[in-house]
Amino acid sequence: MRTPTGAGQRTATLSDVARLAGVSIATASKALNGRRQVKAETRAKVIDAAERLSFSPNALARGLLAGRTGTVGLLTSDLEGRFSIPILMGAEDAFGSGRTSVFLCDARGDAIREQHHVRALLSRRVDGLIVVGARPDPRASLGPDLPVPVVYAYAPSESADDLSLVSDNVGGGRMAVEHLIACGRRRIAHIGGDPTYGAARDRTVGVLGALADAGLELAGGKPFYGTWSEAWGRGATRMLLEQTPDVDAIFAGSDQIARGVLDALHELGRDVPRDVAVVGFDNWEAMAANARPPLTSIDIRLEHLGRIAAQRLAAAIDGEPTSGTEVLPCRLITRGSTAPQT
Amino acid sequence: MRTPTGAGQRTATLSDVARLAGVSIATASKALNGRRQVKAETRAKVIDAAERLSFSPNALARGLLAGRTGTVGLLTSDLEGRFSIPILMGAEDAFGSGRTSVFLCDARGDAIREQHHVRALLSRRVDGLIVVGARPDPRASLGPDLPVPVVYAYAPSESADDLSLVSDNVGGGRMAVEHLIACGRRRIAHIGGDPTYGAARDRTVGVLGALADAGLELAGGKPFYGTWSEAWGRGATRMLLEQTPDVDAIFAGSDQIARGVLDALHELGRDVPRDVAVVGFDNWEAMAANARPPLTSIDIRLEHLGRIAAQRLAAAIDGEPTSGTEVLPCRLITRGSTAPQT
DNA sequence: TTGTAGGCGTTATCAA
DNA sequence: TTGATAACGCCTACAA
């Protein structure tokens, strides 16, 4: 039976349960919340009644009283969700089985919309906020005056008073090159992404560090910067091979760039990984795993980032705030595009 | 100044505002809510006080009273968010500026977890639910007894009593083939995805319909089914061209498959679009726009789907429920992989 | 035009 | 062991 509102049965309240069980509201509450000041028999009666009415406590009323809602806001600006979704999933995981739910709001890179969402979330009395930036560069802080703790993930806050969690792009770049060196490569080039991104420059820093440690120089003489696209990966590769034909490895600034690199190498008749090894960045499964050959890539572990963000936020909500920027390590995922040189 | 909890200032309540403005709580409420039974001067005083305290009404208290929370649950099972994120964005759009916020929960294809999330959402007293399935095949209904309206998007409910919104896969397949015919192609083949997906089979139905209308037959004699992967696109294309070398168009069941098709055609020395035109499905921007040449694709308009879902849900919440399955049309996005034959 | 009072559904305190 | 009662923050009759 449906009511005219399109909804099923009206939700039962605690007083319905109490009435059905023949006890007071207070007793029903205690019974359901596992308080021990209630006779086992009574408790059973109440629980039975609650089940029969499929009672579910009103979190609003509860939150009103407790001053906590078990609710967290995730504010993103990442249109496609490529970054925020894994972060969200990690966060959901860490918050554990349903004690905390997540409001996801997309500001679409618009400051006005962001303010708007912040207000909406605060009026819903979220216990805290996770802010995921549109790109991994520092972004404006939401300010120090919010009534709830905030964790910035992926993109750090510009303010050192905030807590920010970011991926270790320097370490990631280093890791890629160290892997290539371990595979026996010596003529290693780097085709980076958009140089206006700090992440692109950081990765280069790692690249140069690892090369220096091994007493090597960057093949091609300098990093190549362009855009985060396959087209750039193709173009840069052609340019690179023309001027430096003896390259035996290319570290690409993203998996999309790497796809372009693979394409161009294929066209130029270079075998991957025999002639040239390739490493990507992001470990974007759909891109990396379906490449030919499958692409070795640096995984920035966004789910892990989300998990840590949730942990830090939970700690802050419980009165143990932290601040500063935490840099989380990347991870190498080895696939067919690199292989030890025999 | 930070309190020890890591949070900024405590949030002001209506009574704080009232006290600062020197009026009663009731008057403050009326003033802020635009009731006209209040002197302009008083109203100004109250509004000023509210701003000074950066007062924001407690949505919990409000919802408790009103029986509505301005909150909706979006329950997905789509690990990567490729489908649910656009749907979410469309829904957010339609719900408009912040009157309604969306809880996003990912059940990860696990029925237990889904039940769990449903309970959590209901206890938070969401006004309604949008359920996005993991794949576009019918899925189990959440049941008729929920206290709030539900809209199934992308994957329909198995129950006709529910309201479901799905993409028109038959129409999409037809649209792809009609476009190819309009481009002057006559030897059109279809490389589909996983045949256990109703969507894969539906697209074929559309293909065959369009061909029949034009008095054509499917090149290759039958649709090729496999998996939703680039590798399958490559393999199937080789197989197809071996047995039917005169193919002049391929409609792929997904953009990933289409990428594989393009790859294989390139290797086999067939020019796209001159020798063979290619159409994909999904209009997955990252895949389609970066393909070489850029891929014409059928867009299933997920944001639009989300927008309609939100509208239907809002209507149901306002007491105008609907049921049955609504089939939403696709859209053709033309790019370089098809072109009128000259 | 303003203020008083009751109630939304819970939980916690205290008395019975 | 149980039950009455007072919050939580807001809105809305109704009374002043």
Q: Which of A64, A106, A290 to mutate to test the interface with B (most CBs of B within 10 A)?
A: A290
- Is residue B134 a part of any domain in this protein? yes
pLDDT in tens, A241-274: 999 999 999 999 999 999 999 999 999 999 999 9
B chain contacts of residue A9, beta-carbon cutoff 8 Å: 145, 147
Specify the higher pLDDT residue, B105 or B221.
B221
Query: C3 C1' – B77 CA distance, angstroms?
Result: 52
Q: How confident is the model at residue A97 (pLDDT cuts 50, 70, 90)?
A: low
Beta-carbon contacts of B329 under 8 Å, excluding residues fewer than 6 positions away, are: B168, B171, B301
CB-based contact, B105 to chain A, within 8 Å: yes
A56-70, A101-115, A187-201, B222-236, range with the lowest pLDDT: A101-115
Residue type, A243: Q
- Is residue A65 a part of any domain in this protein? no
CATH code assigned at A41 = 1.10.260.40
Q: How confident is the model at residue B4 (pLDDT cuts 50, 70, 90)?
A: very low
Say yes or no to pLDDT of B1 above 50. Answer: no
| Shared-domain flag, residues B211 and B91 | no
Phi (first) and psi of residue B153, to 5 degrees: -120, 145
In angstroms, the separation between the Cα of residue B99 and the nearest Cα of chain A is 8
**Coil, strand or helix at B20:** helix
pLDDT in tens, A158-196: 999 999 999 999 999 999 999 999 999 999 999 999 999
| Shared-domain flag, residues B39 and B105 | no
| Shared-domain flag, residues A191 and A277 | yes
Nucleotide nearest to B11 in CA–C1' terms: D9
Specify the higher pLDDT residue, A117 or A151.
A151
- Is residue B4 a part of any domain in this protein? no
Name the residue of chain A whose CA is nearest to B60's CA.
A60
| Shared-domain flag, residues B136 and B177 | no
Q: What is the mean pLDDT of residues B225-252?
A: 97
What percent helix, strand, coil does chain B show, rounded to 5? 40, 15, 45
| Shared-domain flag, residues A129 and A156 | yes
- Is residue A51 a part of any domain in this protein? yes
Q: Strand A331-333 relative to strand A296-299: parallel, antiparallel, unpaired?
A: antiparallel
What pLDDT, on a 0 to 100 scale, did the predictor assign at position A7?
54
Say yes or no to pLDDT of A340 above 90. Answer: no
Give the whole-angstrom CA distance, residue B59 versus residue B126: 12
Say yes or no to pLDDT of A324 above 70. Answer: yes
| Shared-domain flag, residues A23 and A131 | no
Let me know: does A51 contact A9? Beta carbons within 8 Å: no
| Shared-domain flag, residues B77 and B197 | no
A113-117, B65-69, B96-100, B168-172, range with the lowest pLDDT: B96-100
| Shared-domain flag, residues A293 and A322 | no
| Shared-domain flag, residues A214 and A248 | yes
Name the residue of chain A whose CA is nearest to B66's CA.
A60
Specify the higher pLDDT residue, B145 or A202.
A202
What pLDDT, on a 0 to 100 scale, did the predictor assign at position B64?
93
pTM above 0.85, yes or no: yes
Residue type, A209: G
Query: D12 C1' – B128 CA distance, angstroms?
Result: 26
- Is residue B97 a part of any domain in this protein? yes
Beta-carbon contacts of A314 under 8 Å, excluding residues fewer than 6 positions away, are: A94, A95, A100, A128
Tell me which residue range forms the domain holding B265.
Answer: 169-300
CB-based contact, A36 to chain B, within 8 Å: no
Q: Which of A103, A104, A117 to mutate to test the interface with B (most CBs of B within 10 A)?
A: A104
Q: What is the mean pLDDT of residues B140-159?
A: 95
Q: A80, B290: Cβ pair inside 8 Å? A: no
Three-state SS string over B147-207 comes to CCCEEEECCCECCCCCEEEEECHHHHHHHHHHHHHHCCCCCEEEECCCCCCHHHHHHHHHH
Chain D positions under 7 Å from a protein CB? 1-5, 7-13
Query: Which of A63, A104, A124 lies closest to B88 in CB terms?
Result: A104
Whether omega before B195 lies within 30 degrees of 0, making that bond cis, reads: no
